[in-house]
Structure 1
């Protein structure tokens, strides 16, 4: 049966005075006290040191030669102790962009975890972001009530500076009559909009597409929607 507590008897490391402590396992335990009361002596120099020492002793002689074995702490007995891991408080290089994830070097592992098992959601509406095929998009449009007006838009320029005149002219030649720039619809049949060439497209988002008024979806119109690929 797995022990439920870590039992420490006669801890004498550093300024500890033969103390006896019982700590519950599988719990979040906090050691508090004034400076010099023995918090680090108990946590790092006694519990962690003994757990690490026992773990290293369980390895082969070949493996032990590559690991620095800690000295046995001054304690009468410790029961219910497992191999321990400690993150000590040390001075690190100061960087205003440092976070708990970067300092503890777990950020890369968290990225992999979230990418593998997480489900991204839209920050605006909270809808789950899932892969969509042309067929699934067509099915969603078919569920709209007749007469619903909607737009199909696709981004043409991202993270690029410039006026994007060539992109807008090509879109107009391809039959597109409207573009969405920075959230505003722009008519492409007249003079092209004058964009700031030094502005990044992350602030002047350039999208292109067509406006529609939904009519009853027939088999032929469903096939046409699937074949249409402005996205």
Structure 2
């Protein structure tokens, strides 16, 4: 019975990060209604295993290693395939790449990615893949804090690329965005760009519903 209670407490601490993604020890203790030493003991174990980390200011966060568990759960529920279909539809429609990102202390981490065959070789050379971190200043990162109906845009004249992204809502405690990157020629006119933004918003709604229902 003691072991079961320990597991329940550990899970309660992990769930608390869904409400506050960067809590202090005191904030976690209040959230789970456990003494500071008890919560710290669990955090130190999770830190040793690589699932949480803390910064110099005493704030804790989940690490990208937690994604391994999330991806496993998504695979088991068929959620990964459903999200992948939404991303692939965007990549195919705009002859480029489509990314699903989640907020990360260093910017945004790619948690889903698809591309057309024509893009695959170029992106392998660039070494961008699921798990890669894009810094602040990318459209995917810019879109994270935006409200409904808003979108982020970044142009890269040196490569003739344009990136668009919108926030994904409906996933409790998670800050997500979805975006496309394609050649400037594909989004040559304002009307084409607005159409792409509407397509992104439609897919963002679908992905939000899928992940929200999956509760992973």
TM interval, shorter chain, is under 0.3
TM-score, structure 2 as length reference: 0.25
Tell me which structure has the larger Cα radius of gyration.
1
TM-score, structure 1 as length reference: 0.23
Structure with the higher fraction of residues in helix conformation? 2
